[in-house]
Every structure is written in structure tokens, then in C-alpha cells.
Amino acid sequence: MAWLVLKDGKAFAGEEFGFWPETDGPVSGEVVFNTAMSGVQEMITDLSYAGQILTFTQPQIGNSGWRRGAGEAGKVLLKGIILREPAAGAGAPGADGSLEEFCVKQKIPGLKGVDTRALARYLRQKGTQPGVLVRDLEAGQRFWAAPAPEENGPAPHWVYQATTAEGYVIPGAGPVVAVLDLGVKRSLLRCLQQKGFCLHVFPAGTPAAAILEVKPKGLVVSSGPGDPAALPAIQAELRKLSGRLPILGIGLGHQLLALAAGAETYKLPFGHRGGNYPVQNLVSGKVLITAQNHAYAVRAESLTGTGFIVWAINMNDGTVEGLRHTEQPILTVQYQPEAAPGPAVHDGVFAWFAAVVEGRMDHAERELA
């Protein structure tokens, strides 16, 4: 038997799954849950989960196995996974192995046999919080009872681990577009490639001047992990870029562009993570079903004087899902328009960006209407 012990003392029993080291200390991280019914591989390799222990609420996980090269990134930064029942999955069409084989190879610890429905309900009631994976219940309780170790300054933001170490180019016959990689997903890059762009991908800490040197016709600020308010240096560089070229912000990029303009963000009680969140376009009145994975949101009442207006909202709780600048060609979305995993019905966002990059402003307006 093994355990997940939350910081408030609540414990959930299960069995070891994946990689459990014999000598290393307990594995800890913020415990979150995702309600999507598929897309396990995309979720595990989504760098927005950096530092978190991911709970799958779908009862059986891993039916489709694991396919090499089909993930959203070449590295995994989540701390662990929790599930009800693992499926072998290795014999599924196109599979190169099972989910557990991948977890062992990538040294990802997991807990199976957990009542994930009860865990998700508890987190919805109490809010997300840190947890620790342990073999011994008392060890987990001692972990949270012990005083926190002293740290020499704040820990590095997860974005700087999620981002690319060096910039790179993805060739294309169309206009040059810069991508600020805060933990970018491969599916987002594919969506941009499909528009024909030549992509220059930059690490998160790149100065605005270095981005402008390649003479991009537009900029995409990607999704990524962690608290956007803890990234003041990136906000400062985005302020230098605003008004210089068209910008599309996604996820964390959406939040950072709002902060750079003077707005505020706040943490949601248990986040939005799943594949069926309804979002209403306030321009057209249409409602889209979206994929989401985020813990923070932009405070709508803080937008006064920023130049941004809300163009999309979450139908469940009214949170901000999209912003438009009234004077500059800047559009942001909180949800995942690349839809991995999730419903692929959001090409309008990328079509808007392609139109403004190419100077077809009248066409761009129609894409959001």
C-alpha cells in the first residue's frame, strides 16, 4: 500500500504505480485534477503541469498505450500521477508501449487504485493544495508536520525549466512569426505551421530587442506553468513589444499580457482542467466547448485603463477567457485553441492572427464575429 497525504492531513490510499525510488525522499507537489476522458499522453507531457501531481478523474487510464513522439514536449515536469485503474494499453493500435512503461522510463511515480472521484470532490471543496506520495502513512504526516526547510531566496519559476534552452527555427514559406516559449506545446506549433509561418522560437527570458532583430510580422506568447504575477521580467519585455507588432497570447501568455498592461490576476480555488468548458464569444454570442488547463485568471474589474476589453467568458463561473486590445492588434485566450486534448473547433483564433499578420484587418474582424 502507498499513500497520497495532503498538506491538511487528509490521506488517500492506493498502490504503487510507475517509478518509485528506493532511496529518494518523498515526492511532493500541488495536487490537481483533470476531468478529460481522453488525451492522457497530451496531459502528462503538457509542461503547464510542471511541479504538480496530476489526478485523472476518468476511471480507466492508459487504454491507448503510449506512442513515441506523440507528446506535447520532449520532457516531463509533472511530479506524479494518480489514477483509479491503469489499463495495459501496450497492444493498442499504434502503441509503442504502456503508460506504466513510460512512467518507469521517465521516473514518474504514480498511485493507482485511488478513489479519484472522492479526491476530486475533496479538492473542489477545499481547493487545490500540496500533497506528498509516500509508502508509509506516518511518513507523510511527519513530512507536513516538520518545519519547512530554509531556502536561499525564492525558487526559480517553473517557466524557466519548461522553456527551450536555446532558440530555434521551424522553416515556413510565409511570414516570420516569433514564438515566446513559456512551455509551448507541440500542437500549438503545428497549428502555426499549418498557417505557413516561418517560426522563430525564443526562450522565456529573451529580451524584446532580440525578438525584434528577426523582424517578425507577429508574436505568439505561449502557455506555460505557474503564477504569472511571479514573472515581472517577462512582463517588462512584453510591454516593450506591445504596439510594435500583432500579438496572440495563449494561457499563461494571456495572463502575462494582461499583467504587462496593468491588470491583475488571481488564483482559482481548484483551477480549470478538462476538455468540456463552455466559453461564450461576446462578439458573436456563440458558445464553444473548450479544453483548459490553468490555475490563474485575469481579474475583469482590473482591466480599466489597460486598453483591454473582455471578448470571451467562461459560462460556468464567468471568468475571463479572452481579451482584445481596443487600439493595438493584440488578442488573448485563456483556453487552449490548439485543442490537445479537446475539441478542435477554434481555428478562428489562429485565422485572426494570420489575417492581422498579413494586414487583412477586415478579414480578421470576421474571424471573431
Known binder of ligand: residue 252? yes
Whether 22 is a known active-site residue: answer no
- Among 254, 319, 249, 333, smallest CA distance to 291 is for 333
Known binder of ligand: residue 183? no
Mapped onto helix, strand or coil, the DSSP state of residue 230 is: helix
Task: Calculate Rg over the CA atoms of the chain.
Answer: 21
C-alpha cell, 78? 509533472
Known binder of ligand: residue 48? yes
Residues 6+ apart with CB under 8 A from 14: 1, 2, 3, 4, 82, 111, 112, 113, 114
* Residues written for the chain: 369
Active site residue: 30, 321, 338, 367, which one?
338
290, 314 in Cβ contact below 8 A? no
C-alpha cell, 73? 514536449
Known binder of ligand: residue 226? yes
Which 3-state string (H, E, C) describes 10-25? Answer: CEEEEEEEECCCCCCC
Tell me 128's DSSP state.
Answer: -
- Among 54, 42, 46, smallest CA distance to 18 is for 54
**Catalytic machinery residues:** 338
User: Which residues are annotated as part of the binding site for L-glutamine?
Assistant: 48, 224, 226, 252, 255, 293, 296
User: Which residues are annotated as part of the binding site?
Assistant: 48, 224, 226, 252, 255, 293, 296
